Structure 1
């Protein structure tokens, strides 16, 4: 196993503290790989044998390669750029009991307790007033240093703390920013933000700011066989999709990756998987090559998609939460996610295709299925394959501590997942 895969993953995660930064990190890799950016608001003039990408409202992205014969095959990989976290509310300033706090809300199904007592920071996008009301000056910011924390209540004040504590998100998850001072204005956070953006406070019209843990990811274990890091869900998949497409050889057909935002809150947004944005982009690609809607529908019927998101590994201390006969282990290969409820995309033929690809390239794989009495979450694959009627299969790296502030995976699995995506795109 090459350590380059893990070094690249940890670097990618460190540079991607919010969905907007994840897209910028992906764009940097695609730019370096010779991909051309396509403005969504302009007419596209595409050429065979070229590579392009389209931003999806700055927090998502679609990238694709066009072969000499575009209709030779249609292959897609999908992942999501967002992760469970805290997001700042508007007018977030709270001055209370000599402290400065920020009003925040929960985004997605995060494990609340895991965010306590950690050094936290802020990253995201800020909208600054410009000369054109319809085109504000959008700026990416990353504070990049420990700025916030959420202190835990001492056990002396809650003797039942070790029995489990229910945390109220409006009361117990408000980040502490500093000590109160008489010289501060009531809008102390807006003043702070204006200093970062180097503008007047009144010029800041809005923002989308993510609270994230500052601590870097690392390898651990007797033989460095694990990776502990924030945002493994789902930046492991994002990087595998980007790398697999970059390393895919020039070939016939259309090879595409779609990186969506808002998966953790249902995907029903303009840049989410449960929208018409991917079908629209695919039709634009086909029309740019003078192909018809009938051509597109015909190709969809024989297309294939990998929906790439993390899976649950069997837990070392709570193995009974895993299915009795399907028990993925961290570091032992990619997980094929199967559910008869179709909350994961796939059928017998799709499972067979992915198993065959793994066997051809000696990629280890495992099967994940939920216990019958513990329903799992749904995925991009089930949403996309409903809007785009094509065969799809859910796969991903098995991890533990999913949706924690810091998650755990097997180090070898990033290479296995990347090799599978690469094999998927290069297979004739």
Structure 2
């Protein structure tokens, strides 16, 4: 086996040939997850970190604008506009079965607008917009930083220079209004995203038109201000994730939705390589805003990549369509755990709890992909490996969220099942999960790809 990055548990997981099950330590897995979360401060950094993990495990990068020369036994990955990634392994008899696992790299956050500097009454604020369905109040009074990409002038206008950046230090905050100035604050307050969610970054004094944010980018990331053509920057909480609870049985961290799933996909395809078949992971951007982008699950990027793989291996279009019809896909995204203080928000018989294992997500509306056969497949995989699992179904009078599973399977008609780890405070600046659930999910992905 190739040398592996520490994030995928070198010398930590072993395969017990007698029992046929993956033996992993939840504590070590949670530490790997926390390390991954700490590095993945924007979708671009999630992809860059994932690429580093894959390359350290022997995966070779492909370019979309080049012809692919693929070999049986090869492991490959391709970046899709730097914020999505598809990786695959071709083994033995490639047409022995197609298996896919998909997740998303993005998360609800604040994104910085162009012309971001706002000088008002001596305060320097940053103009932002809300990305995804974030719980706005959870972002107040936290130390915040900036990560993403800055695009610089190049020699050719069609080929600008891309620079990934991460300040990795607190540079702004969104202050709450004191209770003395809003006596009704504990009765609930609506936060206007254009007025109440603007981060404070500096004091400008009497300077009215100072471009302090561009000055910050120029000095912080060593680039000439005149060369900055654009940027796509994410604001994130600088407080790192941690284990917590009386028995350290919980993980509290930003971005559990949905980097828990990204991490499980990476572990699965690296450690669980089959002897025959084609294994694929697809990590998409823009799920939180509908997936209808060139790098989102609503595009045809995954079908196109798969078609190129089959063509490069000498297979026909008919071969590809047959394997799609016989294949299987897991769509990974977090699930709503039963809230300890508001249990009535969950279904009366299908309510996942923290540390209860992998959650199978089911919806009559097909907001979650899956059918009886798909449920049976995942159930059997879990039972064969003694992997704990549970079910999530929305209360019949509450509309739930959706995932990329149904979107993907509409463009790629392959049998699909939505699964995830259960968490509390989904879409908060900081979420909570059970330490054992990541272990269960990674065990399932290893089994799926083995």
Fold in common (TM above 0.5): yes
Secondary structure, in 3 states, of the residue corresponding to 2:156?
A: coil
Question: Within 5 A, what are the aligned runs for 1:169-184?
Answer: 169-182=193-206
2:42 paired with 1:12? no
For residue 44 of structure 1, the aligned residue among 68, 85, 88 is 68
Aligned-partner Cα distance in 2 for 1:173–1:183: 22
Count, aligned residues: 426
Moved over 4 A (4+): 182-185
Aligned to 1:88: 112
Aligned-partner Cα distance in 1 for 2:289–2:173: 24
CA contact (8 A) 1:396 1:417 kept: yes
Shift of 1:186: 2.2
Aligned-partner Cα distance in 2 for 1:318–1:304: 36
CA contact (8 A) 1:49 1:250 kept: no
Shift of 1:169: 0.1
2:240 paired with 1:216? yes
Aligned to 2:132: 108
CA contact (8 A) 1:23 1:58 kept: yes
Show structure 1 runs of 5+ residues with no match.
Answer: none
Shift of 1:181: 3.4
Aligned-partner Cα distance in 2 for 1:141–1:159: 41
For residue 397 of structure 2, the aligned residue among 357, 373, 376 is 373
Aligned to 2:95: 71
Shift of 1:71: 0.5
Shift of 1:418: 0.2
Secondary structure, in 3 states, of the residue corresponding to 1:110?
A: coil
Secondary structure, in 3 states, of the residue corresponding to 1:130?
A: strand
For residue 324 of structure 1, the aligned residue among 337, 340, 348 is 348
Secondary structure, in 3 states, of the residue corresponding to 2:195?
A: coil
2:282 paired with 1:258? yes
Aligned to 2:338: 314
CA contact (8 A) 2:102 2:265 kept: yes
Aligned-partner Cα distance in 2 for 1:49–1:416: 28
Secondary structure, in 3 states, of the residue corresponding to 1:129?
A: strand
Question: Within 5 A, what are the aligned runs for 1:136-285?
Answer: 136-182=160-206, 186-285=210-309
2:438 paired with 1:410? no
Query: CA offsets per residue over residues 382-409 of structure 1, 9 Å max, x none?
Result: 0011000110000000001000000000
Shift of 1:141: 0.4
Show structure 2 runs of 5+ residues with no match.
Answer: 1-24
Aligned-partner Cα distance in 2 for 1:134–1:182: 39
Aligned-partner Cα distance in 2 for 1:380–1:48: 29
CA RMSD of superposed structures (Å): 0.9
